[in-house]
Every structure is written in structure tokens, then in C-alpha cells.
Structure 1
């Protein structure tokens, strides 16, 4: 009976994996998992000679997913059918773990695999029973899955796999993406359609798009997804929605992805069960214990809770005169029996604060060491709010006894939504490689996140991680602008290894998404690597920040001064006046520089040594201040704004020259969007230069094209501009602002 069962299982798996990949238009749906044939005949032949059929000796859901991907990918890349079986053949691709594959076990890899942990993997050309084979081995099935995607990536990017001996281990434990999806399917700060989660048809209908979403993320080593908005609807914890979420978890599980939920801190009250949400009230703690138990009954491998508390009107422990540690630890206790964690966001600021820059540090630094071991403080890369350039959040170098993880933003809330090309890899790299000197040289943000700088190990537990707000939607290509895919890709690759460069991630993405032709790769890679800086230059150069129109965060409104809260106004941040511009955060101002380690505090506090791209973050500077270029501050500011526009125009020219390398559909879309970006960049440039000119009283230097309109025109334009609708971005309509 056992042999009959095994035979039937093998036949079923073979049938499941044997298929023809349908030919699809180049509409961006497949992202970087396209698997077109390897064009170079010699290289394709070399791959074909080394890689034979797939040998897999177990049939777990994760191994089924890995085998399916390998068969899909190799079949497309090598243009030959790939069979799956248990019998060893020459040139076979053998995948598995020593525990579930006797063939892998025969290689005696235990010592080498021991250092790879639960998610690392080994890819190697070797021999088994005197047969030449390639193996993908790991300590767990999910490690095999990650190794399978890496092998395909090597082939997609035309790397040699001859005599390959390759190992990889993730540097961070929690590699998580955050969605800001609401239960009505509208996505806050989402610009590519409705929410992916069709709550009306779940749990009965599981869209193929859910599977593809899981494949996409697993290919990067992402192992967690928070599927709902941090401004959370309490209904997400109801039985009705837990049934639906459990169905999603079932789809994601074979790809090594855990589900997390954003929760509303006042859920006990909003469910009508209690009149309080006080974390020190035993009734509240019991409520969360019982509700958490219910969650795990639906989703046995549930990851945990993400919490936005006492920020932007969201409820939290401070409503009950408790602190963040009190609130986080109560939830952590409810999750701990199941191995769950709390991601507690450090994004907090209050209307009465003197300097919003100081908010998170002043609230959380006194709590260092008071958080439970399964609480991870989720900190944005900068102290304000995902701005095009910020100094690093001082919390990273201050919280020595607290688990921390980075929070980046892929969705382009402050970078032109889904209409501008702004590859975020350089921003990620800049942040992760920032030297904090917290414990001397080598105390980079990346090393802090990895746990190499501070001893965060308490009670035998250490948590590290990185998160990104991604917000893909139902647009066919997932992200709206095709190049936003590259930021999603870069985040995943850097979350796996924070030493990876933005350039390396960009090249991989280009090769997998478009072409391996160097004549295409080099100019587009250069364009991508300059695009973030272009976005900084035409929006907020030299340390200016938050010059956006409120509500939509799309266009310029540096004149905003009438909002009910000071820190919602652009004038609060730039402080332009006749005597100069910039926010004084030195000892004579808000003294925010004191939050940084001494070596940086000294550097930032001195107008002569502060990096010029952070100058106006820390200093109020005269319009006549001499810059490193020899220009005055006014002339340098104008130069930067004009440089940003010219960088966009350069991207247009570079793209236009590459039409022959790209499919017509994606070429036309990017060409049109670059035209929109140039239009918007000019509006940003002219609006800001003309506005700040009212304070400097200085002319625009000769040699620069003059604005076509006066300042009042741009102020009117800001009030009547059509922009993507901020509260219902999935709509194809436009709202009058």
C-alpha cells in the first residue's frame, strides 16, 4: 500500500508540475519572474548541459512550491521540458534537506549546513553515486525554496554556474512588507489600484494573484506580510475576517510567508466588550489573550501584531496614562506562548511638541530596556516622515537594549506617487550604510539592525528585521509605474543582505525585468541611480523638507502656513525669512543634535562641517552663506532646483534612445510618465524658487531659464491642480484640489 501511495503521489506531482508556460504580453505582471529563453546560444547550451531533470524525494507544500518554480523557470529559460522525479539521473538538479532527501544526506553536508541557519541555503555542483549533479540543500524546506529562486536568478542574469559552490544566509530575521490596505479595499497612500485582498470573495475564492504575490515576495526572501493599514479597523480581528485572512495565510504558507495584522489598540472597547483599553487592567490583558488565542486557532503560524499607537489620532496606552512599554508588553505577553512578536511603531509626534524632529527619541529613549523580548521597535529611517532625504533617526544609535527594525517606504508617497521615476535603492543604501559611531567605527545602521553593535540578546531571544510599506494594487503591473517594481526588488534584496548595493540590485532587476543587453543596462542603471537625487533636487535640496501640499503630498506648497497644527505647515520646517532659511537644531535652537552620538552631534552642530545635503535640517543659514561650490546659499539653492529638472530631462533623452531594446507597451508607458515627471519637476522648481525669492530678495542667476509664470499663478495652480486622488487612489478619476 505504501508503494502504491508513493507511486500515485509521484504521478500526481508530475502531472501538477508538467505544464506549458503561457505567452503573455509584456505588461509588467510577471515583474522579475519572467523567465524568457536565454538568448545567448552557448550560454543556454552550457546551462542545459549542467542542469537536467529535478529530483525531489519529499512532497511538502514548500518543496512543491520550489519544484513548481524551478520547472516553470528552467523550462522557460532553457527552452526544454523539465521532468520531476525521485530517481537520480546524470546532470540532475537535486533539491532537499538531509532530513527529507537521502541523496542530500549522502553528501555529509551537516557541518556546512549548520552555519546556514533555518533559512540559508547551499547551491553546489558535485557528484552523487558518481553522477554529476547540481544540488540545492538547506536545513529547512524554505531554505530550499530560497535557493531555488537564487539559482533561477543566476540564470536570469546570465551568471556562470560551472563548478558552482554558493551559500547565502539572511542577515536579518524578520523581512516584512507592510500594506496600508483598508477593509473597503481603498489603500492609503496606494497609487496602483484597489487592495489586492478581495474580501467579498474570500475565503471561498483564492485568486491566482495571491499565489503570484507570494511567489514574488518569496523570490526576494521576504518572510512576512502585514496585510492591513496601521490605521487599523478593529473588525480585522473578528471571526468573519479571520476566516478570510486564514485563507490568505494558507496561500502564503508554502512560500515561507507569515501573516501579521495591524491592530487597533482600543479593540476591547470597540468590540463592545470592555469600557477601557488600559494595558494594566487585568480584564484588558485577558481580552487580548483570548482574542490572540482565537487568531492562532485560525492561523497556527500567525506572526504577530503591528501597532501604531498614540500617533496621528490613533489610540494607545497613553490614553490611560501608561507608556509605550506598558502597551507593547501587554500584547507581547498574549503572543509569547505562540511565538508571536509585536512590531511597535516609533512614529509618534504631538501637537504641543517644540520640534517634531525630537518626538520619537524623547518618548522612547527613556524606555530603553523596558520592552519585552518579543517586542521590536519599528523605526522609520528618518525622524520626520519618509522624506526624500532625512538624517537618520537618532533612535537607532540610542536604543542599546531594545530590539529594533527599520521601516522604509517603497510606495512613493513623497516621490510623485506612481507617476515619477524615483528608484529608492540609493535611499535604502544611504540609510543602511550611515555611520552612527554609536560604538565607534563600524556602527552603521545596517550593523545595528543585524545586532552586531549592541547586545540585544536578553532571555535568550534576539530579534532583527527590516520592513517596507509597499502598497501594490490591482493594476496589471502591480505598482503603477513600472520602475516602482525596482524599489520593491531592492528592498527585498537588501533586507536579506544589507551590504548589497543599490547598483547591484538595480542591475539584477534590469536583467530580470527587461534585458541582459549591456547597451540597455548601463544607461538605464545610471538613470535609476540618479533618479532619487533628482527627486530630492527638484523638491527639497540642501536639507529642506516637507514642502508638500497637505492631504495629497504630491505637489509643492512651500507657502502653507494656516494649518491648525504648526507641524502640518511647510513654513514650520523651512523657516524662510529675510535673514535666511533652515531650522536651527543646534544648542541655540531645539538642540536635536544632542540626540546623536558626540562625534556626529559635533559635526552636525557646526555649519562648516555639517554635510551640505543636511545643512538646512540643522541650521538657519544666511542667504549669503558661502557653499563648498563657491556659490552663495541662494545661488546654490537655485542651482539644485534647476539641476533636478535637467536630471529628469536627461532621463527622458536616455530612455528615448533605448526604444529598440524594450517592448512597445512598457516603453510607451515610461516615456509618457517621464513627460509628466518633467512637467511636475518644472512646477516644483518654479514654485519653490519664486516663493523663496520673496525672502531672499535676490534674482535668479543669469543663464537659467526664467519661470513662465509668477508666484501667484503657482499658488493658484496648487489650489486647482488635478492630482491622483489621495483618499481613493484606486479610482481612475481625478479630484480637484
Structure 2
């Protein structure tokens, strides 16, 4: 149990912009007591300024001064100073200071931390491990923890990578935190300050490599100018122990190199890749390796030449072997399918493609497997491929960037989702086979393994586009080091490091974080039906119809009477048979399939009764309302922290949570109404399609406005909104208020399109009670939309408005650009009513 230094009082945090993330090193209130508890000197056993050990010394010096107000003297290469923090490798310590017999054997990157007695020892198995130990010590101090500890820790796996989907033009595919910190206008940026800051953040969570470019790779990354640029990026990262990796385009020998083939067995292709690899290592001597996406989603690969994926991966592996580099080969390979074939199933693709190749990959190839068999969905079963590669290195691929999961505009703390996979026991050969033990190499005795996460930080000072989303990056690093770590403990450390030690802040943000994934799961898709977003456009707002009637294979197979994929062996696609016997038997039988994956494995009637006793359709209704209700609570919980969080971050988070309250209702209504329309089965609680506090915009008296039928229909209340009659006409909508006199929150649902920033005003009688601009593309993080749909639907609230029955409500909309000031409805919400 940790012993914490008790603080007499908790100070107020100054305004911050998020650039330091969890490395703020905020001053502790009792600096006098704090000063007496930390060493007066920092002994650094490597004086090379580019060494992670030297960086650890300067980081300790900065941290001790900021946290405790103490100036520790930096001493190089000797251990005579008393009251010291000694940081270096174990070997350096033994040569300079003598033996420490109690240190156990460490794995690569592991470290020993001892705070007992007058001195602190931070000793790594290598330079990088020593830096990790320094960040660990500072994390303790920053949380007010001055307890005496002596322990060693080593990583669970050698591969702890992040992937950046950055494009050379500076854009980022599925990035929601601004442009690239690496690239602009086709080349590496000149100013690498943000790259260094990113390296610092990654080192603090023990990440050891970054793939800097998009998996949908541009071959011009291999130009001589960009190779030099990659060398500069590597130089910026190296002091933090972070290596550079790159994504490759399989067809580069042809499209960039001038060959007439990219056949992986062609001698000229082999030589070309060998030469490119030599050039890369000349510029980046410690390059981590390659990430390859082949034969997937239109990307070129070996199959065009009738070569196997193993032969394709091995081409790069052999080129890297002289340098010790690694090939991360993505298992995200699938073909488009015919939905009329009830045996077709995209979820089977990874096992179908890779299982026959088990054992054929070179030893420096690692198959990078998404946690579920489809694509970063809000809930999926564990990918069965983990149980089918017994003789091949594997790593799990997670996603920090929230592509399908709210895109940083919704609070969704993801480790509870990741843990459903990491902690899942696949029971290979009827033996314990936790996924976390498989990907770390422990279960099948593989030398390489670990994890990769798609992160996609950008130039925004919050890095990801939202302060709260940084908890996912922090926790990913913790899980990459130790996949058995606890999500609640991780987020509590992150909260204290990010927002300070106020117990109310800790309790409130812990509760919000731990409730956030279940809430998003409830209002965006449940029972294993996947995230019911628009898979053909932005992957953000609700559009369940896009799941079906296409070749992408993310089907729900929903109709008037039934829903769900039959993935059984007996009558369906046979997907359940890709699991080991015990797991296959559980999923084959609907009576033993958990409710939360019922529709993933079984095609059932909407009136089918779940283990909970509810029908499937009633569960849909209840879950979507419950999830949206929880999202409303995030806003009120955060408001209770006013004055306990600095104003800049308080307002930023408040705005996003306020947006989430409205968009969760957009989700709730869209999904509930879509399936109510499909099934004609009413909601037992009489909520769906029943909104007694709303005034529909199309029912108001319109001047300069006209009605507009929204598509998809469920994205608008009663499927209709109003838009201005032209892009240079001001619209007015008026109506008499027929609700009882009282105090209400007025909620206006409207659509905020990309390509214009309309201006709205709302009046009661002649009194203006609010105005707003459609500028969400500037102040929120998700991919914007050019249509009136579930992505652009948004709600604004004006709280505590005094209303008299008979008042005249008026909305004035001024269009801008292509945005015709669209309005859906206005709700008059009494206290406690969600809508």
C-alpha cells in the first residue's frame, strides 16, 4: 500500500494549455516539508547530453524544483555526494559506486527504484530504463507520495509502439488534434520542437518506438530529402529512448523506384528494398523497423503476384535482419463481400488469411492484430487470430484516437474496453491463454511481442484535441508495460498528475471516466451489434442503415422481424469455430453467449428474450436512454468542479461535455427511432417518438425558411428540419409557447455544416435570450460533415430561462457559405427533464 505525504492544503492550479500533459510537475502546497524530503543532489552517471540518462538528470532537476521548490545540484559521474538521487544503468553504478546486491535481474528497459535511506537510486538495465525510472520517481512526488520503496519493474514485452497515421501533406487520417507534428507540404517539418515534446511524453509512459507516417503510405517518404528528415526526427526522439519506424507502400519499387514489378520474390525488388533499407539506416542508425499494410482496403500487396502474405512480410524482414529491425505486419486484411451470401463474414478474414501461414514468417516479423475482428468497434469479441498463431510473433493493436468512439468530442475512457480483450482467456488446448500472455510472448514462448496503438497526436496544445482524451494515451503506455494494470488505478494517477490532488476532483473524474465507455456503448450500439455509426462517411455520428447493403461486411442483417449475424457453425458463417473448443462451444449456443455479444453471434427475433429477461428491442430502447442519461450527468459532475480546475481547462472540458449531452441525445433518438420505424414495436416506457417538451421547427411560422427532409431520416426529429430559402436570405421561425409558465432550459437542435458559419439568435417576445455561431469545426475535434445528418446534428442550451405561457418564441438564422442556418427543433425542459 502506498504511504502518502499528507498535504495541509490544496492550491489552485494556474491556467494551462495542456502541452505538458501529465508532466506538469505542479507545485505541492507544503513546499517546506516537501523540500526536506527530497535529495539535494542529482548524480548522473552519463554526461553525454543526448543520452536518456542525461535527460533523466535534467528532468529530475526540473521536476524537483517545480514540485518541491528545491534546487538540486547536477553532478556527473561520481557518487560521493550525500543526499543524492543517483541515476544511471546498473552496470554504470557498479563501476562507479559499487554493488547493490538486492537488485534482481531486469529485462531490457527495466529499472530499479529505491527511495530508502538518505539516497535515491534509479538504475536501469539500459539508459532508457533509467529514464523510465526517473519519470516513475517524479510521478510519485507529483502525487504527493514520499513513501519509502525499493522495487524493480520490467516491461511485459519489448514492443511498445505507437502508430501515427500522418500524411506527408500534413493531414492526419483519423486525427482529431490538428495537423501533423512531423510533415508539411510533402516533407519533414523544419521545427521539431513538438516532436521533442512528444518524445518526452512517450518516454514518461515507457513507449519505445513511433511509426511516424500513415499505414496507407506514400512512397515519396523514401526520397533522399525525406530520408534526411527522418534522421532529424530520430535525432529529436533519441534522447528520450524513442526509436523511429516507418510505414511502407508495398508497390514502392514500381511507383517510386522505377522498376516494372514489386513482386516480393523478384531479385531486383529484393535488391531495391535492401538498398532502401541501407539508406534508411545510414540516416537513422537505430531505426525500429517497418510497419506494412498489404492487400488491405486497396493497398498493394503480394497477392497480385500470387505470393503469400508471409512471403511479402519476409521480404522486408530479411532486409532488416542485419540491423536488428522488426517488421510489424498488419493482420487487417479482408476482401469485399456479397451480403446476399449468408455464409460470408468479414470477421473470419484474419484467421482465413493468416492461420495457414503460421510458422512461415521470419523471426523478426510480428503480426499486428486489431483487438477485435472488425475495426475498433465499441464492443467486439476478442480476435480469434490470437489463438491461431502459435508459431508466429503477435502484437495487439489498440486505438487511442477514438475513430469510431466519439473522436475526442465525446468523453470515452477506453482501457475498460481494452481490458475485455487483454484479460480474455482463449483456452488454447484447454489451458489458460489470456490474450495479454499471448501477445507478450509468454503463452507460446515467442521472443517478440507486445502492443501498438494508433494515437495520431497533432499540433493542438491538447495533443489529441481534448484534455480528457489524454487519459487514453497515458493508460495505453501503462498497459503496454503491464497489461494486467487496473484501469481505475491508471486513470486516478493520470487525474492527479493532470488536474492536481483535490480529492473531489479525483473522485468526480474517476467516476466520469469509468462510466464513460459503458455510456457510449449504450447510446451508440450494444448487444454486440457494433458501433452504429456511418461507416461510409465520417465514422462519427449515427447512421445504422450504412452498416448493411454494402460489401464492407460490418452487417447487422436487421429487418422488420430479426437482427444480428448468425456466426454459428451449425447454421451460420462458422466464425465461432475459429475459436478454441471451449470458447467456440460458449459462443455457438445462444444460452451460453453473453448478452453483450448476443447479436454478434446470433440472428434473433427482435422479441427474443435475453438473459436479463428483456426483449432485444426493449434492451435497445432502454440502453440508449440510459447511456444518454449518463452523458447528461458528466456535464453536471464537471460543473461541480468549478474553482477546483483552472479556468482555461475547465471551460474547454465544459464545452465538450455540454456538446456530448446533446449529441448523446442525437444518438439516442436516431437509433431508437430507426429501429422503431423498422420494427413497429413500441417502447414499453413510451419514450421513443414521444417528445412532449419539443416544438418542431417545421411547425413554426416560417419567413425566409423552408422545410427540408433530412437523410438519413432518423438524424432529425420527425425527419424534417428547416433551412433558409437561399444562402443570402435571413430566415425567421416563430411560434407561441404553450407550456406552463416557469423556468426552463431551452435546448435548440440544429445542424452545423462544414463550409460555413451561420449565425442564430433566439428571442422570447422581443427579448434576446441567446445567440450562437455554427463554428464547431473550429472548436470541436470530430470530422465535420457537409450534410444535414447525424454528424452535423448539434444542440445548444440556454439554461434557467423564465418563460410565460403565451410568450412568442422566435429564431432568426443568418446563413453563411454553404450552411443554410438549419434548425431541427426547440425543447423547453423543466428542471430534471432530459428531453
TM-score, length basis structure 2: 0.80
1:615 CA displacement: 0.6
Q: Secondary structure at the match of 2:398?
A: strand
What's the CA shift string for 1:697-727, capped at 9, x where partnerless? Answer: 21122253635679975625759954679xx
- Structure 1 match to 2:241: 256
8 Å CA contact 2:265–2:311 kept in 1: the answer is yes
**Equivalent residue for 2:557?**
575
Assess if the C-alpha contact under 8 Å between 1:436 and 1:444 holds in 2.
yes
SS in structure 2 of the partner of residue 335 of structure 1: helix
Larger RCO: 1 or 2 (CA < 8 Å, sep 6+): 1
Which residue does 1:90 correspond to in 2?
A: 82
Conserved? CA contact 1:49–1:91, under 8 Å: no
Q: Deviations over 1:14-40 (max 9, x none)?
A: xxxxxxxxx973111110000011124
Match of 2:768 in 1: none
1:355 and 2:345 are equivalent in the alignment: yes
- The change in CA–CA distance for 1:511 and 1:343 in structure 2 (over 3 A counts) is same
| 8 Å contact from structure 1 (residues 351, 566) kept in 2 | yes
Over 3 Å counting, the alpha-carbon distance change for 1:103 and 1:305 in structure 2 is closer
Match of 2:179 in 1: 194
Contact 1:123 1:137 in 2 (8 A): yes
Preserved CA contact (<8 Å) 1:192 1:472: yes
Shift in Å at residue 98 of structure 1? 4.1
- Cα deviation for residue 50 of structure 1 reads 3.8
- Residue 288 of structure 1 is matched in structure 2 by 273
Superposed displacement of residue 207, structure 1: 3.0
How many residues are matched? 694
Deviation at 1:107, TM superposition (A): 2.9
SS in 2 for 1:547: coil
1:666 Cα offset (Å): 1.1
Measure, in 2, the Cα distance between the counterparts of 1:625 and 1:716.
Answer: 27
Residues 1:715 and 2:706 aligned together:
no
Aligned to 1:30: 20
Alpha carbons 1:582, 1:618 under 8 Å: kept: yes
Aligned residue for 2:489? Answer: 504
Q: For residue 331 of structure 1, report the CA deviation from its aligned partner.
A: 0.9
Q: How does 1:91-490 map to 2 (within 5 A)?
A: 91-101=83-93, 105-109=97-101, 112-113=103-104, 115-125=105-115, 132-162=118-148, 164-199=149-184, 205-352=190-337, 354-456=344-446, 462-490=447-475
**C-alpha separation in 1, matches of 2:252 and 2:596:** 43
The alpha-carbon deviation at position 276 of structure 1 amounts to 0.6
Q: Which moved more, 1:437-446 or 1:524-533?
A: 437-446
C-alpha displacement of 1:688: 1.1
Q: Summarize the Cα distance change of 1:251–1:703 in structure 2 as closer, same or farther, 3 Å threshold.
A: same
Conserved? CA contact 1:206–1:248, under 8 Å: no
**Which residue of 676, 683, 689 maps to 1:693?**
676
Range with bigger deviation, 595-604 or 515-524: 515-524
Instruction: Kindly provide the CA deviation profile for residues 600-624 of structure 1, in whole angstroms up to 9, marking residues without a partner as x.
Output: 1111111111111111000011122
Classify 1:730/1:197 alpha carbon distance in 2 versus 1 (closer, same or farther; 3 Å): farther
How far off is 1:471 after superposition? 0.5
User: For residues 186 and 543 of structure 2, what CA distance do their matches in structure 1 show?
Assistant: 42
Question: Shift of the alpha carbon at 1:427?
Answer: 1.3
Residue aligned with 2:395, SS: strand
Distance 1:203 1:191, change over 3 A: closer
Secondary structure of the 1:311 match is coil
Native 8 Å contact 1:420 1:481 kept in 2? no
Give the Å deviation of 1:72. Answer: 1.0
Contact 1:436-1:445 within 8 A present in 2 as well? yes
d(CA) in 1 for partners of 2:442 and 2:565? 34
* 8 Å Cα contact 1:185-1:198 kept in structure 2: yes
CA deviations on 1:393-445 (whole Å, 9 max, x unpaired) are 10011110010000000001111212111011111222211111124453111
Deviation at 1:559, TM superposition (A): 1.8
CA deviations 1:667-716 (Å, max 9, x no partner) are 11111111211211111111111111233221122253635679975625
Q: Which residue of 1 aligns with 2:809?
A: none
Cα distance between partner residues in 2 of 1:629 and 1:531:
22
Shift of 1:562: 7.9
Q: 2:169, 2:185 within 8 Å by CA — same for their partners in 1?
A: no
Whole-Å Cα distance in 1 between the matches of residues 643 and 752 of structure 2? Answer: 33
Deviation string, structure 1 residues 463-509 (Cα, Å, up to 9, x no partner) = 11100000111111111111110000010010011110111110010
**Aligned residue in 1 for 2:594:** 611
For 2:822, the equivalent position in structure 1 comes to: none
Secondary structure, counterpart of 1:534 in structure 2: helix
Structure 1 residues 370-379 or 692-701, which shifts more? Answer: 692-701
Instruction: Name the CA distance, whole Å, in 1 between partners of 2:639 and 2:396.
Output: 37
- Alpha-carbon deviations, 1:72-115, whole Å to 9, x = none? 11110111222101453321111112433467641344x735x2
CA deviation profile, 1:171-198 (whole Å, cap 9, x unmatched): 1101000000000000000011100114
2:739 aligns with none
Cα deviation for residue 56 of structure 1 reads 1.7
Shift of 1:566: 2.4
Cα deviation digits, residues 548-586 of structure 1 (max 9, x gap): 2222011111123786x4226xxx611112332111101
The DSSP-based 3-state class of the residue aligned with 1:559 is: helix
> 2:592, 2:576 → 1: CA distance?
13
- For residue 513 of structure 2, give the secondary structure of its aligned residue in structure 1: helix
- Is 1:676 aligned to 2:664, yes or no? no
Aligned CA RMSD, in angstroms, stands at 2.4
The 8 Å contact of residues 51 and 93 in structure 1, kept in 2 or not, is answered as yes
Structure 2: gaps of 5 or more residues: 1-12, 339-343, 699-707, 722-750, 756-775, 788-835
Report which stretch shifted further, 654-663 or 639-648: 654-663
Does residue 55 (structure 1) correspond to residue 37 (structure 2)? The answer is no
Partner of 2:685: 702
Asked if structure 2 preserves the Cα contact closer than 8 Å seen for 1:116 and 1:139, the reply is yes
Answer yes or no: is the 8 Å Cα contact 1:189–1:411 preserved in 2. Answer: yes
Change (3 A) 1:561 1:649: closer
After TM superposition, the structure 1 stretch with the greater mean CA deviation from structure 2, 494-503 or 431-440, is 431-440
Contact 1:120 1:143 (8 Å CA) reproduced: yes
Change (3 A) 1:46 1:40: closer
- Asked whether the 8 Å contact 2:165–2:214 carries over to 1, the reply is yes
Residue 831 of structure 2 corresponds to none
Separation of aligned partners in 2, 1:598 and 1:98: 46
Alignment partners' CA distance in 1, 2:239 and 2:547? 51
Judging changes above 3 Å, is the alpha-carbon distance between structure 1 residues 714 and 99 closer, same or farther for their aligned structure 2 residues? same
Whether the 8 Å contact between 1:124 and 1:165 is mirrored in structure 2 is yes
> Alignment partner for residue 623 of structure 1, among 603, 606, 623?
606
Following TM superposition, by how much is the alpha carbon of 1:734 offset from its aligned partner in structure 2, in angstroms? 4.6
Query: Does 2:538 correspond to 1:552?
Result: yes
1:594 aligns with 2:591: no
Larger helix percent: 1
Matched residue SS, 2:598: helix
- How many Å apart are 1:203 and its aligned residue? 6.7
Q: Judging changes above 3 Å, is the alpha-carbon distance between structure 1 residues 103 and 77 closer, same or farther for their aligned structure 2 residues?
A: farther
Give runs of aligned pairs for residues 1-80 of structure 1, distance below 5 A: 25-40=15-30, 45=33, 48-60=36-48, 61-80=51-70
Q: Secondary structure at the match of 1:70?
A: helix
| Cα separation, 1, equivalents of 2:754 and 2:601 | 33
**How far is 1:47 from its partner?**
5.8
- Classify the secondary structure of the residue corresponding to 1:614: helix
TM-score normalised according to structure 1 size: 0.90
1:187/1:730 contact within 8 Å kept? no
